[in-house]
Amino acid sequence: MNLQYIHDTQGNATGVFIPIEEWQSLKKKYDGLQQEELKSPDIPEWHKKILEERIEDYRKNPENSMDFEVTMKSVREKLGL
């Protein structure tokens, strides 16, 4: 298995990257992984409410939204990146 470990700035392992082909193989081998992947995350109700408000605002005022790439370019320019 070709795992890649993710480390923080102190060199501590904080995660593992599994190539997608190997992940698909593991899901076939271990049935519980498939069910685990399909579980929806527990999103707090207050967070859902904020999201619904933002979606509603977008629907009412789509002209106020900003293109992601344009926004990122602007941020990079302001930060000198």
Give the residue among 16, 41, 38 at the shortest CA–CA distance from 27.
38
- pTM exceeding 0.85: no
pLDDT of residue 34: 80
Residue 4 in contact with residue 16, Cβ under 8 Å? yes
pLDDT of residue 22: 92
How many angstroms separate the Cα of 45 from the Cα of each of 14, 42, 48, 62? 29, 9, 5, 25
Q: pLDDT 10s per residue in the chain (81 long)? A: 888 999 999 999 999 999 999 999 998 898 888 888 777 678 889 999 999 999 999 999 999 888 999 999 999 999 999
- The token pair at 54 is 């933002």
**Domain spans in the chain, listed from the N-terminal domain onward:** 4-64
Pinpoint the alpha helices (H) of 1-81. 20-29, 31-38, 45-60, 68-79
